[in-house]
Amino acid sequence: MFTGLVETTGVIRRIDRGDDSALLDIQPALQPYEAAIGDSIALSGVCLTVESLDGAVIRFRAVHETLQRSTLAFAKAGDEVNLERSLRLSDRLGGHLVLGHVDALASIVRDRHAGDSILRTFRAPDSIRMLLAEKGSVAVDGISLTIAECTAEGFTVSFIPHTLAATTMKNKHAGDRVNIECDVLARYIFHLLKSGRIDAGNGQSLLSKLESNGF
């Protein structure tokens, strides 16, 4: 479990791709960067396990399911990733609860300057739009962000200068793809509503009740 507060970035030094998985060698920008074999670390929002260590380089394995659902499928040596080690129970929860489980990919549509910040709009697939809410939380490449607006094509978030400077977002442009993890509470509530496990009375699911009343 993570908070969506990026600790540092890292550079992909090498990728060895196999039939069903890929080995990634990552060198964190922050040194020393404390990590041990078996630790969970989020790479741009993707939770992976430390498989081995070689000096300052950390090796991870991304399996087929992970590659299918995330930007790691088309990552290459030299690319930069956001890094965050898993949350300790004694840590402050400065962002929101992030699991490191990517729901979908989104693409950058445009940027708009608003004072010192940048409003960045993303195009998101229909499959996750019902999980996005204005003023709700979303993780973009592992960064905890607040949704400023839900749009017809996806959503917009605001980046302050520090977030841009401290993460990979400073190098992203229109058309670039990113990993999206929706708020875990929204995910489970939607699942319960869709499954009909929440009864609104008269044998109706809560979702059916809301739809019949125009919501």
Which one has a higher pLDDT value, 207 or 33? 33
Query: CA nearest 9: which of 163, 198, 203?
Result: 163
Residue 146 to residue 137: CA distance in whole angstroms: 5
**Closest CA relative to residue 167, chosen from 156, 179, 155, 184:** 179
Q: Helix or strand or coil: residue 153? A: coil
- Structural domains in the chain, CATH included, are 8-85 (2.40.30.20), 104-190 (2.40.30.20)
The predicted model scores a pTM of 0.88
Contacts of 62 (CB under 8 A, 6+ apart): 21, 22, 24, 46, 48, 70, 72
Within a 10 A sphere around the Cβ of 81, how many other Cβ atoms? 25
Condensed to tens digits (0 to 9), the pLDDT of residues 77-121 reads 999 999 999 998 888 888 899 999 999 999 999 999 999 999 999
Contacts of 127 (CB under 8 A, 6+ apart): 103, 104
Decide if pLDDT at 194 tops 80.
no
